[in-house]
Amino acid sequence: MAPVLCANCKTERALIKRPKNHAKLCKACFITVFEDEVHHTITSSQLFYPGEKVAIGASGGKDSTVLASVLKTLNERHGYGLELVLLSIDEGIKGYRDDSLETVKRNAVQYDMPLTVVGYDELYGWTMDQVVETIGKKGNCTYCGVFRRQALDRGAKMLGIKHVVTGHNADDVAETVLMNLLRGDLARLSRSTSIVTGDDQSEVKRSKPLKYSYEKEIVLYAHHKKLDYFSTECIYSPEAFRGSARGLIKQLERVRPTAILDIVRSGEDMARLVPGDSPSSCACKGQNTASSAPVEDDIGGCGSSSGRTPGNEMAAMDKQLRENEAHEELEIDVAKAMSERKLNGSEKQRDLPIRNGNSASKGVARQVRGNCKRCGYMSSQDICQACMLLEGLNKNRAQIQI
Amino acid sequence: MSGATETAEIPITVDFSGGLEMLFDNQRRHSVSLPAVDANGKPATIAFLIDYLCKNLMQDPRAELFVLDNHIRPGILVLVNDADWELEGEEAYEIQPRDNILFVSTLHGG
Ligand SMILES: [Zn+2]
Ligand SMILES: [Zn+2]
């Protein structure tokens, strides 16, 4: 079989077949196109400003490693003027993070970026090992999950950095869209498609520059650029994978590779129907900077943050907690958005009855999403979940000391 | 075809990454001598190789992490001499001597 030539340069042998458009490209052209598309996402959604200090949530896994590599390349090539640093979270579980942290340390040298590893002990005064010592093994996942959700933001705050980027890719976004669609949770779907979370009021903004990048291409980019990344031990269990949203995404991709980006786009389009949000991220479609309401979304910086690791008890618990909280927030959110719209009266469009996962009726907005009175992290409650758990832990410690 | 070719073997290298190495003795690269033909006397293809790897090389009982319903599990990429196997005929690609076949999982966290 004669080798297929690259559709772009027409001289080199094609090694990649792009899932989004079936284009057959050689290694060099693929790498260029991949980088150009991320650059396009960054510029069209005005993700950064010159001189901005940006922390890359780094786990040593493929997504965050590719993100660090691409951002370094683009920052130099296009003169973004960014000050890039790596930020990793250490839960304080002996042995659990050793290999991935070693990878991140090598990445710091390879990309010439300063690395900060923030431990749960620094952020919360407790390592996970200490939590387990105090409360036992049962339920410790709850703590880890709640702590992880805030860890990157808190870590960035410690460093005086206001923008954290994470390696969430198109498959991650498609998975979230699908899960929220299956739940009938259009309002949350709207937020999950947004490239930026957190607004001017929030202390730390988060964004996902790889939002339109296929996971397959991320892996191929890492492979062809010979990037040094770490694959966590096998934590996905086939039982849970089968029939999961992630499994469905991968099967759809197998049949029709464009499906992943189609789901992402559909998610964005549906999001436009949700009152109060402006989730489109690409300026090409006539929107400016997209910034949706802050949401405590699933950014763990540890590689086990999304539904793709259902075998992991920690992740599962984390997810459940997140859902409960998100649903609660959402009711407030939608009610507020709707009442605001009625007040301006400028909108002719009729309010759509947006359902969320809990079909309980929504009254008047009882509370605006605010910040935790103790730590300042965004929370729908006076005291955020992390602070509640810490209070319990600290009481426990006091008792033990007495 | 003579009896001699039926017992012939094709020397190839098989690589596993992205977490799959765990299923194969925690080793990334394996030198494999693959039978040149399958049980029906047909030339060895990638489909045959996958089956062969499951039966002869996999140390781990969890074959379903590698194959589902007799096909490579969705989410695992296959590269033939660094080229996406979609460019090479996928399962029907006939293995050549000294080929390098890479299986890389995209399913792990990042
Ligand atoms: Zn080319
Ligand atoms: Zn708090």
Name the A residues in 243-272 with CB < 8 Å from any B CB.
246-247, 250-251, 253-254
Using CB atoms, pick whichever of B79, B86, B106 lies closest to residue A215: B106
Name the A residues in 195-234 with CB < 8 Å from any B CB.
215-216, 218-220, 223-224, 229, 231-234
Confidence of residue A167 (pLDDT cuts 50, 70, 90): very high
Confidence of residue B108 (pLDDT cuts 50, 70, 90): low
Strand boundaries in A149-299, DSSP class E: 163-165, 196-197, 205-207
The dihedral built from the CA positions of residue A313, A315, A320 and A322, taken in this order, carries a sign that is positive
Per residue in B44-81, pLDDT tens?
999 999 999 999 999 888 888 899 888 999 889 999 99
Regarding predicted confidence, which is higher, B9 or A185? Answer: B9
Nearest CA in chain A to B18: A231
Does B70 lie at the interface with A, CB-CB under 8 angstroms?
A: no
Phi and psi angles of residue B29, each rounded to the nearest 5 degrees, phi first: -110, 135
Regarding predicted confidence, which is higher, A290 or A379? Answer: A379
Beta strands A205-207 and A196-197: pairing type?
antiparallel
Residues of A at the annotated binding site for ATP?
57-59, 63, 89, 167, 172
Q: What is the ipTM of this complex?
A: 0.92
- Of the listed ranges A344-358, A366-380, B25-39, the least confidently predicted one is A344-358
Per residue in A75-88, pLDDT tens?
999 999 999 999 99
Checking if the pLDDT of A285 tops 80, the result is no
Using only C-alpha atoms, chain A has a radius of gyration, in whole angstroms, of 21
- Of the listed ranges A12-16, A50-54, A141-145, the least confidently predicted one is A141-145
Of residues A15, A6, A18, A11, the one with CA closest to residue A258: A18
Checking if the pLDDT of A340 tops 70, the result is no
Regarding predicted confidence, which is higher, B33 or A296? Answer: B33
Q: How many CB atoms lie within 10 A of CB A321?
A: 17
Start-to-end CA span in chain B (Å): 49
Arithmetic mean of pLDDT over chain A: 76
Per residue in A11-50, pLDDT tens?
999 999 999 999 999 999 999 999 999 999 999 999 999 9
Give the ligand whose atoms come closest to the C-alpha of residue A380.
2
CA distances from B61 to B18, B49, B68 (A): 18, 18, 14
Tell me if B108 and A236 make a contact (CB, 8 A cut-off). yes
- CA A118 to CA A161: how far, in whole Å? 14
pLDDT computed for residue A59 by the predictor? 87
Checking if the pLDDT of B86 tops 80, the result is yes
Rounded to two decimals, what is the model's pTM? 0.79
Share of chain A above pLDDT 70, in %: 69
* Mutation for testing the A interface, residue in B67, B84, B93 having most A CBs under 10 Å: B84
DSSP secondary structure string, A80-105? ---EEEEEEEE---TTTSHHHHHHHH
pLDDT computed for residue B70 by the predictor? 86
